[in-house]
Amino acid sequence: MANDSNNIIEVRDLIVKYGERTVIDNVSFDVKRGETFVILGGSGCGKSTLLRNLAGLMRPHSGAIFINGQDFTAMNDNERIDIRRRLGMCFQGSALFNSMTVADNVALALREHTKLNESTIEIMTKIKLELVGLGGFGDFMPAEISGGMKKRAGLARAMAMDPEIIFYDEPSAGLDPIVAAGLDALIRKMQSTFNLTSVVVTHELASVNLIADRVCMLKDGRIVEMGTIDGLRASQEPFVKQFFERRPDEEGDTREEYVRSLTDN
């Protein structure tokens, strides 16, 4: 096995299936320490599934995922817990625990996994909330804050245990451009301040431009292109070109052909 110490995540020949349907088809890639790696693709291409595998929420059909050189997929649940403490994840819908205040959400992992006393935990929680610009919102319930703030709080929670890697699932989905840009800037800031490795799943080209060091483009569970954002922009691969030019799928040129395509079945 190739274990380059510059690579914090190494994915090898990953295959994921839902029943008989193959969702991720033989995917391999590396994520370097400290970079922001973006997984880009259209709806339903398997990018969220790929992220769930990386975060250990699903077990793949075959293939391996190495995190810090350790095979994450071959571990039992207890061994996984140790690795998971070094991972953070921001969910698409923020997934804050609705029955707890924002501060309790952030403090939860610290209370459960560490033996720190309560006042230390309170201070650490406050720092994390300040970090994402939510100082003073600790006592609010998740239902009382806006969507963008929830995502920030989700990031603060993911940061609670000072992880090495953070996974973001569609960070800008459902946010207006200004709030989304703010979140992109925050992702960038986290990465540069703490030398975090970020893996971001998205379909938003605007945020890819802002945050990505390297991008891999998925289509139907396969990687069609991988490289820097400029490399992708210059790519001659038809799907990549179509995606970057925001062209819809061909539906027939003339009105007659279009009507025929609807009725021919």
Partner 1 sequence: MTALLGYTGRVGLNLLYAVLRVCVLIVDTLGWVLVAPLRGKGLRVRSTVEHFVEFGVNSVPIVGLISFLIGAIMAMQSSYQLAKFGAMRYIAALVAVSGLRELAPLMTAILITGRSGSAITAEIGTMKVAEEIDALEVMGLNPTKFLVAPKFVAMLLAVPCVTVLSMAVMILGGFFLSTVVIGMDPDLYFEVTAQSIVGKDLVTGLVKSVFFAVTICWVGVYRGFQVEGGAEGVGKQTTSSVVTSIFCIILVDLVFTALFYFV
DSSP string, 223-235: EEEEE-HHHHHT-
> Cα(36)–Cα(38) distance, rounded to whole angstroms?
6
Of positions 32, 61, 85, 188, contacts partner 1 by CB under 8 A? 85
Of positions 41, 56, 60, 138, contacts partner 1 by CB under 8 A? 56
44 binds partner 1 (CB under 8 A): no
- Report the residue number, 55 or 175, with the smaller CB distance to partner 1: 55
- Report the residue number, 39 or 229, with the smaller CB distance to partner 1: 39
Of positions 16, 24, 31, 96, contacts partner 1 by CB under 8 A? 96
Site string (108-137) toward partner 1, x via CB under 8 A: xx--xx------------------------
> Cα(29)–Cα(238) distance, rounded to whole angstroms?
21
- Report the residue number, 95 or 181, with the smaller CB distance to partner 1: 95
Q: Which of 13-45 are b and which e, b meaning 16 or more Cβ less than 10 Å from the residue's Cβ? A: ebebeeeeebbbeebebbbebbbbbbbbbeeeb
In which element (H, E) is residue 175 found? none
- Report the residue number, 113 or 189, with the smaller CB distance to partner 1: 113
At position 185, the amino acid (one-letter code) is A
Minimum separation from the CB atom of position 169 to partner 1 (A): 8
Of positions 13, 28, 57, 123, contacts partner 1 by CB under 8 A? 57
Site for partner 1 in 161-200 (CB under 8 A): 161
142 DSSP 8-state letter: G
> In this chain, which stretch among 11-19, 74-82, 125-133, 197-205 interacts with partner 1, using CB under 8 A?
74-82
Minimum separation from the CB atom of position 235 to partner 1 (A): 33
E strands, 48-178, in order: 62-67, 70-71, 87-90, 165-169
Residue 17, helix vs strand vs coil: strand
CA atoms within 13 A on the CB side of 143: 3
Residues that bind partner 1 (CB under 8 A): 52, 55-57, 80-82, 84-85, 87-89, 91-93, 95-98, 108-109, 112-113, 157, 161
